[in-house]
Chains A and B, each alone.
Chain A
Amino acid sequence: DAGVTQSPTHLIKTRGQQVTLRCSPISGHKSVSWYQQVLGQGPQFIFQYYEKEERGRGNFPDRFSARQFPNYSSELNVNALLLGDSALYLCASSLGWGRGNTEAFFGQGTRLTVV
């Protein structure tokens, strides 16, 4: 079975531009979360979606937005890119978000470089 897939793997954007990152969860998983990992730090939570609804939002500006589609895939959008947005963006999927569905499985990530 395919794991969590993310696209693209790498991209370079200019300050002020907009970017869209994509994620396909493991088949059967209904929850998708997004994390930002800056070099040398642990991942920071951005969003969680479950059954196409936002279930959680981290401490990120409104320039960050996301959505989940009927097939449970997800997109993360970042507007007005700043140099500080350069990071590895990780998508994680899980069966759900209840007590019995606790572990999250991560994709390979998208490396975003803002110049």
Chain B
Amino acid sequence: AQSVAQPEDQVNVAEGNPLTVKCTYSVSGNPYLFWYVQYPNRGLQFLLKYITGDNLVKGSYGFEAEFNKRQTSFHLKKPSALVSDSALYFCAVRDHGSSNTGKLIFGQGTTLQVKP
């Protein structure tokens, strides 16, 4: 079964410091990986995706993610955190098994807290 794990419930970082939000996955075949952000009482906003190609993927709002096939990881990163980055972050993998539903499987989410 395909799955996603976000090992940290919360990540705390000071404004201006680099941030990393961790994600590991388990899939059969090549993974389609995504990061989404959710602000309070809002839907999910798409940040970036990895389908194929370069292992370093750049996305919205200065975020990037590094795909590591050997470690089955897809960590979200940003060189300099902003207070406004404080939100709930979800890693997801697309289930493209035999039924090819396009279903997204989400991790439990990681709360990012950026302090001034």
Using a CB–CB distance below 8 Å, which chain A residues touch chain B? 4, 6, 31, 33, 35, 41-45, 48, 50, 55-56, 58, 90, 92, 94, 97, 99, 102-109, 111
Closest to B44 in A: A106
In contact, A105 and B101 (Cβ under 8 angstroms): no
In contact, A56 and B101 (Cβ under 8 angstroms): yes
Would you list the 6 A-B pairs with minimal beta carbon distance, nearest first?
A: A56-B101, A42-B106, A97-B102, A106-B43, A106-B44, A45-B103
Q: Interface residues of A: mostly helix, strand, loop or mixed?
A: strand
Closest to A94 in B: B102
In contact, A43 and B90 (Cβ under 8 angstroms): yes
The contact size tier of chain B is 20 to 34
1/0 contact trace for B12-49 toward A, CB 8 Å? 00000000000000000000101010000111111001
Question: Using Cβ atoms and an 8 Å threshold, which residues of chain B touch A111?
Answer: 41
In contact, B51 and A97 (Cβ under 8 angstroms): no
Name the interface residues of B76-102: CB closer than 8 Å to any CB of A: 90, 92, 94, 96, 99-102
In contact, A109 and B103 (Cβ under 8 angstroms): no
How many A-B pairs have beta carbons closer than 8 Å: the answer is 71
Query: Considering the chains assembled together, what is the distance between the CA atoms of A97 and B101 in angstroms?
Result: 7
Question: Using Cβ atoms and an 8 Å threshold, which residues of chain B touch A94?
Answer: 102
A41-B108, A42-B90 given as contacts; is B103 within 8 A of A106 (CB)?
Answer: no
Would you list 22 pairs from A and B whose C-beta atoms are within 8 A, ordered by A residue? Answer: A31-B102, A41-B108, A41-B109, A42-B107, A43-B104, A43-B106, A44-B106, A45-B101, A45-B103, A48-B103, A55-B100, A55-B101, A56-B103, A58-B103, A92-B44, A92-B104, A97-B102, A99-B51, A102-B49, A102-B102, A106-B43, A106-B46
In contact, B32 and A106 (Cβ under 8 angstroms): no
Most chain A C-beta atoms within 10 Å of own C-beta, residue among B34, B41, B43, B46: B43
A41-B109, A108-B42 given as contacts; is B34 within 8 A of A103 (CB)?
Answer: yes
In contact, B102 and A106 (Cβ under 8 angstroms): no
Question: Using Cβ atoms and an 8 Å threshold, which residues of chain B touch A103?
Answer: 34, 46, 49
